[in-house]
Amino acid sequence: MFASDLLLASGLIVLAFKLQIVERDMLATLDRGAMERLATSREMRAERNVRGGLGDTLGHDAPAQRQPLPRTV
């Protein structure tokens, strides 16, 4: 009876390690996909900034410079 318990315990440990490996691989795949989407969005944003932005092509005014408000007492 002791040998069967030992065999069952070792089988469950192996199964748990396999599950961890599968979860690690899934998370790595998700992380890789997120990094690719982030890189793509950064490239698109950089291209948009180089081209002058969408507002300039539509005739919109450029954003105004910040100015401090006058102090009233």
Asked if the model's pLDDT at residue 47 lies above 60, the reply is yes
pLDDT digits (tens, 9 = 90+) for 23-33: 999 999 999 99
Indicate the length of the chain as a whole number.
73
Boundaries of every domain in the chain: 19-51
Diameter of the chain by CA atoms?
A: 90
- What pTM was computed for the model? 0.51
Q: Are 9 and 17 in contact (CB under 8 A)?
A: no
